[in-house]
């Protein structure tokens, strides 16, 4: 039975089960930010009501053990800076995450993803942690590499990112398995991701 903790501490951050009154902070920090929500599977929130509704769905999914969402809170100033989720499917957890733009590039999400993978594999029934990201979302791909996940391939027309287009887009699929954990850790970006990052810079 999936029964993850309601709170989890990392070096600089704390994950906790969200509460409805987090809506204001989530809305202000990232849910309305079109840059942050570009590659997520939900529409940018227009009002804090949208955020409250989203939190209601998250909390009922937690009760049903279908998926778990944690608010990411920075220890230093107790500020809510993002969210990470694990969707449960049998022996698998699929991760999704988002972070306020002001906090990008400090290694926060790598720290969170690494900790959640560690915690996932403490559950006897979980054998695979995986996630997808848009083929243009190289920051997210890099987070997964740094957290010890490996690219399995490209899933064609996999995800709709409604803030970009209604047409499903290709996604990179990354995973780590309980058996392989630790054996595939990469510190430097993979050659493939280096080349993709270079090509994206040329296109910009």
Ligand X SMILES: CC(C)(COP(=O)(O)OP(=O)(O)OC[C@H]1O[C@@H](n2cnc3c(N)ncnc32)[C@H](O)[C@@H]1OP(=O)(O)O)[C@@H](O)C(=O)NCCC(=O)NCCS
Residues that bind ligand X (CB under 6 A): 36, 39-40, 97-99, 104-110, 133, 137-140, 142-143, 189, 197, 200
DSSP assigned state of 185: -
Least Å from the CB of residue 102 to ligand X: 10
Our CB check for ligand X shows the closer of 64 and 153 to be 153
Nearer to ligand X, 98 or 117 (CB): 98
Distance from C-alpha of 49 to C-alpha of 189, rounded to nearest angstrom: 40
Q: Which lies closer to ligand X via its Cβ, residue 128 or residue 169?
A: 169
Q: Which of 124/153 has CB closer to ligand X?
A: 153
Return the bridge partners of 130, or none: 94, 175
Strand-strand pairing, 92-99 and 128-134: parallel
Spatial strand order of the sheet with 128-134 comes to 7-9, 13-16, 67-74, 79-89, 92-99, 128-134, 169-177, 150-159
């Amino acid at each position: 039975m999936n029964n993850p903790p309601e709170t989890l501490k990392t070096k600089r951050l704390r994950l906790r089960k969200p509460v409805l009154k987090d809506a204001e902070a989530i809305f202000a920090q990232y849910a309305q930010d079109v840059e942050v929500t570009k590659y997520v599977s939900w529409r940018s929130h227009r009002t804090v009501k949208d955020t409250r509704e989203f939190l209601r769905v998250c909390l009922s999914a937690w009760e049903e053990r279908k998926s778990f969402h944690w608010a990411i809170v920075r220890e230093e100033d107790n500020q809510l800076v993002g969210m990470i989720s694990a969707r449960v499917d049998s022996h698998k957890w699929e991760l999704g995450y988002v972070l306020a733009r002001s906090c990008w590039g400090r290694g926060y999400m790598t720290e969170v993803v690494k900790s959640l993978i560690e915690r996932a594999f403490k559950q006897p029934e979980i054998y695979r942690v995986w996630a997808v990201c848009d083929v243009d979302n190289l920051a997210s791909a890099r987070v997964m590499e740094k957290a010890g996940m490996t690219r399995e391939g490209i899933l064609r027309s996999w995800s709709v990112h409604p803030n970009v287009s209604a047409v499903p887009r290709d996604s990179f699929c990354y995973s780590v398995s309980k058996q392989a954990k630790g054996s595939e850790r990469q510190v430097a970006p993979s050659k493939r991701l280096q080349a993709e990052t270079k090509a994206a810079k040329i296109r910009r």
